[in-house]
Amino acid sequence: MRNLLFHEIHQTSRLSVKEVNEVLKEFDLYSSQWSVLFCLKQFGAMTQKEIWQYLNVEAPTVTRTIARLEESRWVMRREGEDKRARIVVLSDRAERLMPQIEQRITELEERLLARLTDEEQRQLIELLRKIGVEPEEKDVRND
């Protein structure tokens, strides 16, 4: 049963990423980049460390993703109070385009979840949050 469960989670995740990448093509973005933009939209300015901890992704991967986002003018990095910490913020361009991107993502989400009731969607979120790392370890911003 466990192998089947993780297989289904993996397959659903792959499908979701593929579909999100299709939606994001219009903006020259990928799902990994969207994850960073989503964090910044949700929480405001964050350090690179806060981003990789929240996303549960290796630091070098997030650093590369942020560098690409900075090159394409989606984010800006600045020094924090601690000179070693880099603060990442959405650019003016990103702030302007985020409503369009969020609308496309919302439309995709509604399409992918159309067969689930609102209650089933809430249950799914709750169940997914129970898998893996304890919430207090992962939620760096207490969302």
Q: Is residue 31, in this structure, part of any structural domain at all?
A: yes
Q: What is the pLDDT of residue 85?
A: 81
Q: What is the pLDDT of residue 6?
A: 85
Q: What is the pLDDT of residue 65?
A: 97
Q: Is residue 10, in this structure, part of any structural domain at all?
A: no
Q: What total number of domains does the chain contain?
A: 1
Q: What is the pLDDT of residue 137?
A: 47
Q: Is residue 5, in this structure, part of any structural domain at all?
A: no
Q: What is the pLDDT of residue 138?
A: 47
Structure tokens at 143: 């969302």
Q: Is residue 42, in this structure, part of any structural domain at all?
A: yes
Q: Which residues pair with 90 in a beta bridge?
A: 75
Q: Is residue 38, in this structure, part of any structural domain at all?
A: yes
Q: Is residue 9, in this structure, part of any structural domain at all?
A: no
CATH number of the domain to which 55 belongs: 1.10.10.10
Q: Is residue 122, in this structure, part of any structural domain at all?
A: yes
Please answer whether residues 38 and 80 qualify as being in contact, where contact means their C-beta atoms are separated by less than 8 angstroms.
Answer: no
Range of the domain at 54: 16-138
The low-confidence residues of the chain, meaning pLDDT below 50, are 135, 137-138, 142-143
Please answer whether residues 45 and 89 qualify as being in contact, where contact means their C-beta atoms are separated by less than 8 angstroms.
Answer: yes
Q: Which helix (H) or strand (E) holds 23?
A: helix 2-24
Q: Is residue 6, in this structure, part of any structural domain at all?
A: no
Q: Which helix (H) or strand (E) holds 89?
A: strand 86-90
Provide the Cα torsion 114, 20, 54, 71; round to 10°.
-160
